[in-house]
Structure 1
Amino acid sequence: MISPERAKVMPPASVRAVSVMAPELESAAALIASVAMLIPEQLADRGGAPNIAALALNMFAVPTFLVRQNCEIVASSNIGPALLETSRAFYQHQGRLTVRRASDTHALLEAVGRVMTTGTGELLRFLTRQDEASALMRLHGIPGQPLVIVAIAELRAPMLLAHGWSTAAFGFSAPHAALAESLALGHSLAEFAETHSLPIGTVRTRLKKLLIQTGTSSQASLAAMLQRASVIMSGAERLANPPKGRRAAGG
């Protein structure tokens, strides 16, 4: 529940901050705090603590990071690096979570400092020049640790999904998974056929197979079901099948 009171220190005009209670962030924070206390220092030095923290961050279906007061990234959820690679607003600079606008980066640093000092979570709204929300960022401190969880939802960006997520969810073959994932993104059969240089008849045959496999009765109902499934798989599939050769940021 978001309180109507805004933070005492107001950030620049492109960001709005309010206090926020986030039970799921509190659960992740408590888990990370307990892990930090239980892991031997020798294991922590070898990266054990950040790696286990990354597992806790994968509780969320949005890109989530564990940062220090200077916004240095200690760990991230599996979809965190993908956001930093594709986002127009957020990226990693010298190991730190950074915003394209310098003033917004300053606002983020101030917010992290406030959360770390007061122990009260905050929600940052990143606004366009038309005063419309373009991204939401939730911050929550780790009890007894100089760390903050940062969860980011870009409101105008496509959902971050690993290739083949529908195979993990439904067991589709590669050709059928490609069509399913295209439908979930709102593409038509004709667009898929053109993109993959396939006869429309072949695509329609694959659609019929997908309808049978999923128990749906129409292309529209199939697409709607796949879109709902993608919300879960945006985090779960990457947790089960992390991209090869990519480690959690700072891990």
Structure 2
Amino acid sequence: MANPESKPDGLEQFVENLLVRSVILLGVLFLVMHMAGKRPALWFADSSTGAKAPLAMRGGDPYIRALMRTISASESNVRSPYTVIYGGEHVSDLSHHPDRCVTIVAGPNTGNCSTAAGRYQFITTTWIEQAHRYHPAPPRMFFWQNYSFEPEYQDQVVYQWLSDSQAWGVDLRQLLKKGKVNTVLQRLSGTWTSLGYGIEDNSNTAELPSIYKQMLREELGQAAMR
């Protein structure tokens, strides 16, 4: 009978070495991506919710950034909004849009299903359409590859979309600078139906103008510190 305190055999030693090397490699990967200003596709939950959660992207106009956070206050008012899908479940793989069609159990679309996902609750078709226009890192090698749905890219696609006056028929930033928040929310309500003029208001809808003002104060303050 083997002594229970004997040294591990060759297989056990191999497994131990493999685990140690895997941990080291994972740590190096996270360090490199952090230094590069990026996050891996495997995204971990953030303790902040909705608008309070900081944007993953860096830089950009504070008026548009505040608008993005306001949209998430209504569309994804949960912890780790970048990972949430319709119905409240969270996903860990953001290398692509989750594309899960979850049955709608309340509201005007009851009985249908929704693929809405991420901080801005992109349905799959809208994500593909807007990612094709605005994604900063589109697939290049193979036509069947997907656009990355990592938090930074969710932000960048929405930021470029909201900044495109041709997409909305009006310059949203200029309207926001003039204090016309309600006009902007109404213009966007056809895309994000919980913004106050759509068909799916929620408990945060009425508070969105004041939420925007708070987010703008934060974003202007952060911009002044850069």
TM range (shorter): under 0.3
Higher strand share goes to which structure?
A: 1
Instruction: From the CA coordinates, give the structure whose radius of gyration is larger.
Output: 2
* Alignment TM-score, normalising by the size of structure 1: 0.26
Q: What TM-score comes out, normalization by structure 2 length?
A: 0.28
